[in-house]
Structure 1
């Protein structure tokens, strides 16, 4: 039996700011993780490719407000920085 991936531990060293901001980032990261896992069966960020995150930003958030999409873009950028890649995303 495998243990579920801990997104909070993955991002813990990257996040600064207030407790509420960190909790929002953790919640959004788990939403991204769940969506990608359902669509592509990729459970951890280490298995994600640029197309997975781009799909989330373009398709899963297309009905959301500009502000919501912006906050998700911020957490995607943190995930990309944590992965050590140089992927660039825009809305």
Structure 2
């Protein structure tokens, strides 16, 4: 049996700000991971493509408030920075 992916460890190098902000990013990253895993069976960020994150931002957050979408966008940007990609996203 393999260990579950540790999102907190994955983001540790790029997380900044207060402890509360860091916890929010980790919590949101786990939600993003769960949605992408359910839809595409891609369990780790290393296997994601920009279309997966774009899908999450467009479809999973479509009924959320503008503020919520903004905070998720910040988390997505952290994930992209950690993956060392140059992907860009718009809401």
Off by >4 Å, runs of 4+ in structure 1: none
Partner of 1:56: 56
* 1:2-81 alignment runs, 5 A limit: 2-81=2-81
Query: Which of the pair has the greater relative contact order for Cα pairs under 8 Å at 6+ separation?
Result: 2
Unaligned regions of 5+ residues in structure 2, if any?
Answer: none
Output the CA distance in 2 between the equivalents of 1:81 and 1:31. Answer: 18
Q: CA offsets, 1:21-67, max 9 Å, x none?
A: 00000000000000000000000000000000000000000000000
The answer for unaligned runs of 5 or more in structure 1 is: none
TM normalised by structure 2 equals: 0.99
Q: CA RMSD in A?
A: 0.4
Aligned length: 91
Name the TM-score, length of structure 1 as normaliser: 0.99
Deviation at 1:81, TM superposition (A): 0.7
